[in-house]
Structure 1
Amino acid sequence: MSCWSAARLNKKTITVNTLTVMLVLAAFFQLIPLPVYAADVKITSISSTSGKVEDPITLTGTINTTNGEYMILFGNLTVASGFASGNIVTCTFSVPPLPRGNYTIMLRDVNASIDSEPLTFQIETNYIVKVEKPQPPYQFQEGTTTINITVNVTGGIGETTYTANVTVRTPANETFWKLTYVNTTNIGMGNTSLRYPEDFGVNAHTNYTGIYTVYFNGTLASDMFFIGLTDRTEYHRGDTVRIKAVGYSSLNGENVTITVKLGAETIARFNHTVLGDIVEANWAVPNNASIGNYSLSIIPTPATKKVDDAQVFAVPGFEVRIVSQSLAYEAVSNVTIKVHDFEAGKTYNIVSGVGGVASIRLEKGAHKFTAYFKKVRVGEVSVNITGELMLNLTCQITNLKITVENEQNPEVKIPFVSLNLTATYTTELDGVRIENEIDVTQTDIEGSARFVLPILNATYRLTASRYGRTFFNGTIPELKPEAWNNVKISCPVKSLTVNVTDANNSPIPGALVEIQDVMGGLYDAKFTNSNGQVSFNCVFGIYNIKVSSRNAILNQTTTEIFDEKTVTVRCLLYNLPIYVRVVDYFGQPISNVNVTLERGGVQLGFKLTNANGLASFIEIGGTLTIKVYLAGQSQPELSVTYSVMEARSEANPIEVKLSRYVALAGILVETAWFATIILIVAAIAIFTALEVARRRFK
């Protein structure tokens, strides 16, 4: 092989290899989607640039990779991660537990390995003091010996000691303090615990009722706790109120008076003997106790006590939600519910709102719920309340469906019937009165109407009418305690006889007579008999009557049918004599041409014109198409549309002019040819006259 051939082969090989590599790379890039770089990696906003450990921070930003993964770096810690929405990043994170100082926050596009410009965030030292309190409704009582207090430092200097002056201020403005120390870890966090009153000196106490405030180094942080006379802040009927007061050593062996009041009313007052330093007594909440805030006091107050022993506690009751519903389990709003508390002898009024729900707080014991709708009692139920409750109160309220049927054929339902329903009932709420209420509607296309939420304890009178004419006026049967009460009434049927005649009052047999209720829905159609007569049984109403024959409308009219009725419909267009005269350009009759009548594209008949150019028909009038065909033509020479509303006799025919033709001795000549012949003849005549004149004078 020559060098030239080898070089040539080598070039071919290189070319093939290059194309192969390009195809492989193209396929690779089609199969492996690459990140889309559409935006800068940056933090666009941050809710705060300083804060304390565990504060929530909201950050927004953008990354290059569409829907790509991101990370939020707080110093060297990852505090949030996820995937962008498009190129937008929005996230919330908490300030991590780190010593106080300045830190950088960066947004990282993980796919592109690109970080945003850093933002500076300052962690501030947070001082916290917290009192461990009983779970509500329990509370501390006078004489409590151990109340745990925790002191915390976060975001402090790492591995250092903070001095904490913890001070407790009593309701009498006395202060007791304790100096303690908080050692922080390498992340700037530390805590210590104290117990009040034992860690705060021999004089510290819990002898006063009221709020005690705890301070950390003055105003750096604070918390509070309450010391009461009772073991709880809330009670229910039958519960025992445990009362304890201390600091009564000066009255040892003597009686003190404990008083419980609801507003200005004294509920209980009793004496109790002081034993040593303590007043400790129990009082049972009465079974008829009303809901409210009660005040409790002890007198006399020893001279050593700087705060009177008085406290408020609550008898809050339980939340009771009453759902008023009909017999169809539908929510009913605007139901007045009288709630009678048998134990307290009190009655409360509430009204159901959206969703039929009414809420009230009730205490333990027997209660009766009486429901009134439109001031008529519709339901009652008695319940013993022991806790929170959801109560379904079923009311004697139903739904009423009125269906109007054809008197002769109940399968046929009558639409668009006006219904007037009058309810008469006796109210029992706020006085006894007889009330009338009117509800108006009409039947739908299926012949039914629905009256929603009628009460059972009422009488109902129904009036039904069509086109303002009443056909039913009576009392409907007593409603039953069911979800739906269905009542059917009949609409009367009246006989309608239609006589169809022509212009000469002669009957038209085989005519199609259609009747349609003006409001729609009801329809019937029949053909007249040999006497031109047809009969219908029509539901009470007003009807459109349409008479047609051979697809042509002969006449239309409207009639009221509220009694037996006979209607005569004269059809002046029926079997009219129709003469058509075909003439040429000069109005001369053209004989032996085919004249065809059509209606709506349907041929009615055809005739040849006579010597007078006339073709006669007996047809139904209206809009007709007249087509004229010349001998040997498959397409009409002329087609015109004409409205025939009266007889067209031989003396008054419809004239159709074929302007393209002139009749010469029974032969049709096109007008253009005729004009040419005339011109030629005229030219010959003129030439002859001139030639004769020339020879005469020669």
Structure 2
Amino acid sequence: MYKNLPKKGKITIVFVTFLLLTTLISSLLPNATATPVEIVSVTPESGQVGDVVRVIGQIDTTNGPYAIFFDEEKVKNGTAVETMVNDTFNVPSRQTGSYDITLHDMTTTNNATAEFTVIEIIVYCQTRNKYDQKPLANVSVDVYVNTTYITSGKTNETGWTNFRLDRGNYTFKAFWNEELVGSINGSVTGNVTDYMLQRTFYIESELAHITIAVNDEAGNPLPFINVDLTSSKPETLLFETNSTGIIATNAFTNVSYTIESRRYGYLFDTTLIENLTYTHDGKDRINITCPTYNLFVYVLDSKEHALKNVEVTVYEWSSERIAGSKFTDSDFGSVAFNCTFGRYKIKVYNTEWGHKVVLNETELDLIEDPFFFAVHSRISNLDPSVKVVDYFGQPIPNAQVKLERKFDEEYVNVANLTTESDGTASLPKIGGDYRISVQVMGEYCEVRPIYLSESNVIEFKINKYVTVGGYPLQIAQLITYTSLALLITTFALAIAYRKLSKTIKKEKTAPKD
């Protein structure tokens, strides 16, 4: 077809075809125009970390790709509609301050920038007594937008809590023990100062702050006291005093309360507070005194006799603090104390050896006045003894008995005894942990630890000894002595027999008259 065309015509056809192909290809590619990259608007121009920001602008390239950067961090990318960009992103984590938002044409690499300010919005809320404006601690504050719950916090010791919120209208509701006690509506608006927008709201509440202090009659604080507040409200408020004997709490206003105080589960005081609109009697402190009772302790020995001149010490049960220490009198074995209502440990000591020997340890609840309490020392006034016998069960007299008493973790020698003719030796009348060592003829034969708790005879059987004529001999010695005696006896009998035989022979050989 083209063979008959002149050369000039062929060149013209090729050129036209090239132009058509170029036009077709360029129509299929994004078109870069002379329109500059531009950010038309950033909404909002300031906000907090996490807020949604909308960027409206245009790029050079029709239907071209773009990216949005926040402070050099890519936060979004997409494709333009024609040359228009309308997109959103979330503000990344940054300190408060001014930052650049960059719209980047990925085809032409051209950019446009706009400024965005990262701010912080802090809303402070304080809960107060509606009547005397005193701050209220430990109150829960919930934040709502209309009826939608947003967040919550709890007030500190000065009644404050704070929230990070956006601009807008909010409802702040104060709750205590899950009951609504106050609310306020507030708008978070205003100018930003130093990248900060702060608003403060005060919530007047139907609550009063009260402090309850529990002390003994001497004014000493009492910890671990259980205090219950009951009222017409369905829930009883339960508390425990701290190490300084204090409870600091809130209570509903316009409500009468009954305060019951217990120590170790026993009630010792009931206080009524009527119509708690203000703090009690214009004060913020309710003082409760735990009473002092008379305690009489009687100490009896193992035979139910009064135990005289022993030390009785009373310890406060929880703190181990000494509440009193006295010696029993010589008539009734008794002693008297004045102690605060509560629980105590009673320890009875014997001190005659220069060490404190615990005769008994017990507990009591002092909940009556007066209170009489008997302590039985089962290890006092005992009649124990040691008996030392030989292999055949015969008593060994003059055996040495060493008696050691355990004080704390150490044994101390308290007596050196000698057995009588019946093999016995009397032990001390105070029981407890002992270590008894027995010597026969100066040789240690047995050492035995023992706990003395009754009037019995402790027998030591020394199998290596036998008693002969009241004198102890080792069995080996006895065998030796017996063998030697038998040998001597046999030898003597042999000699006597020999002499007798000679005499008989002489008599037989002598001439007859």
Using structure 1 for the length normalisation, give the TM-score.
0.45
Give the whole-Å Cα distance in 2 for the aligned partners of 1:626 and 1:130.
110
1:223 paired to 2:223? no
Counterparts in 2 of 1:613-632, with a 5 A limit?
Answer: 613-630=423-440
Change (3 A) 1:528 1:151: same
1:23 is aligned to: none
Change (3 A) 1:493 1:138: closer
1:419 paired to 2:227? yes
Counterparts in 2 of 1:52-71, with a 5 A limit?
Answer: none
Asked if structure 2 preserves the Cα contact closer than 8 Å seen for 1:582 and 1:658, the reply is yes
Asked if structure 1 preserves the Cα contact closer than 8 Å seen for 2:188 and 2:199, the reply is no
2:260 is aligned to: 463
Give the whole-Å Cα distance in 2 for the aligned partners of 1:150 and 1:352.
41
Asked if structure 1 preserves the Cα contact closer than 8 Å seen for 2:215 and 2:245, the reply is yes
Change (3 A) 1:684 1:331: same
1:530 is aligned to: 330
Match of 1:404 among 214, 218, 243: 214
1:605 paired to 2:415? yes
Change (3 A) 1:138 1:544: closer
1:239 is aligned to: none
Cα drift, residue 437 of structure 1: 3.0
1:566 paired to 2:372? yes
1:539 paired to 2:348? no
Cα drift, residue 554 of structure 1: 2.4
Cα drift, residue 620 of structure 1: 0.6
1:549 paired to 2:350? yes
Q: Secondary structure at the match of 2:306?
A: coil
1:577 paired to 2:438? no
Give the whole-Å Cα distance in 2 for the aligned partners of 1:325 and 1:671.
97
Give the whole-Å Cα distance in 1 for the aligned partners of 2:31 and 2:290.
85
2:235 is aligned to: 437
In the alignment, structure 2 segments of 5+ residues that lack a partner are 1-29, 46-55, 65-79, 88-118, 129-133, 155-160, 506-513
Query: Number of paired residues?
Result: 382
1:491 paired to 2:299? no
What code does the residue aligned with 1:638 have? E
What code does the residue aligned with 1:524 have? A
Cα drift, residue 574 of structure 1: 1.5
Cα drift, residue 513 of structure 1: 2.0
2:446 is aligned to: 638
User: Sequence identity, in percent?
Assistant: 25
Q: Secondary structure at the match of 2:124?
A: strand
Asked if structure 2 preserves the Cα contact closer than 8 Å seen for 1:503 and 1:572, the reply is yes
Counterparts in 2 of 1:81-480, with a 5 A limit?
Answer: 131-137=37-43, 151=60, 215=82, 222-224=83-85, 322-326=123-127, 334-335=140-141, 352-354=151-153, 356=161, 357=163, 359=165, 361-362=167-168, 374-378=178-182, 385-387=189-191, 389-395=197-203, 396=205, 400-406=210-216, 408-411=217-220, 413-422=221-230, 435-451=233-249, 454=251, 458-476=255-273, 478=276, 480=279
Q: Secondary structure at the match of 1:135?
A: strand
Change (3 A) 1:385 1:457: farther
Cα drift, residue 495 of structure 1: 1.3
Match of 2:466 among 662, 671, 679: 662
Give the whole-Å Cα distance in 1 for the aligned partners of 2:295 and 2:181.
50
Cα drift, residue 688 of structure 1: 7.8
Give the whole-Å Cα distance in 2 for the aligned partners of 1:529 and 1:130.
110
Higher relative contact order, chain-length normalized (CA < 8 Å, sep 6+): 2
Cα drift, residue 544 of structure 1: 3.8
Give the whole-Å Cα distance in 2 for the aligned partners of 1:510 and 1:138.
90
Asked if structure 2 preserves the Cα contact closer than 8 Å seen for 1:319 and 1:361, the reply is no
1:10 is aligned to: none
Using structure 2 for the length normalisation, give the TM-score.
0.59
Q: Secondary structure at the match of 2:228?
A: strand
Change (3 A) 1:394 1:691: farther
Match of 1:674 among 450, 462, 478: 478
Give the whole-Å Cα distance in 2 for the aligned partners of 1:668 and 1:148.
122
Asked if structure 2 preserves the Cα contact closer than 8 Å seen for 1:332 and 1:352, the reply is no
Change (3 A) 1:554 1:149: closer
1:502 paired to 2:308? no
Q: Secondary structure at the match of 1:592?
A: coil
2:313 is aligned to: 514
Give the whole-Å Cα distance in 1 for the aligned partners of 2:245 and 2:138.
27
Change (3 A) 1:571 1:138: closer
Cα drift, residue 508 of structure 1: 2.0
Asked if structure 1 preserves the Cα contact closer than 8 Å seen for 2:350 and 2:359, the reply is yes
Change (3 A) 1:589 1:371: closer
Q: Secondary structure at the match of 2:480?
A: helix
- Over aligned residue pairs, what C-alpha RMSD do you find? 4.7
Asked if structure 2 preserves the Cα contact closer than 8 Å seen for 1:324 and 1:352, the reply is no
Cα drift, residue 498 of structure 1: 0.5
Change (3 A) 1:671 1:138: closer
Cα drift, residue 353 of structure 1: 1.0
2:105 is aligned to: none
Residues 57-85 of structure 1 show CA distances to partners (whole Å, capped at 9, x for unaligned) of: xxxxxxxxxxxxxxxxxxxxxxxxxxxxx
Change (3 A) 1:664 1:326: farther
1:593 is aligned to: 399
Counterparts in 2 of 1:14-93, with a 5 A limit?
Answer: none
Residues 455-479 of structure 1 show CA distances to partners (whole Å, capped at 9, x for unaligned) of: 5565443211134322122235846
Give the whole-Å Cα distance in 1 for the aligned partners of 2:57 and 2:168.
36
Change (3 A) 1:348 1:445: closer
Asked if structure 2 preserves the Cα contact closer than 8 Å seen for 1:371 and 1:377, the reply is yes
What code does the residue aligned with 1:410 have? G
Q: Secondary structure at the match of 2:199?
A: strand
Give the whole-Å Cα distance in 2 for the aligned partners of 1:371 and 1:338.
11
In the alignment, structure 1 segments of 5+ residues that lack a partner are 1-124, 140-146, 153-165, 169-212, 216-221, 227-317, 340-346, 425-434
What code does the residue aligned with 1:659 have? N
Give the whole-Å Cα distance in 1 for the aligned partners of 2:306 and 2:135.
62
What code does the residue aligned with 2:84 have? D
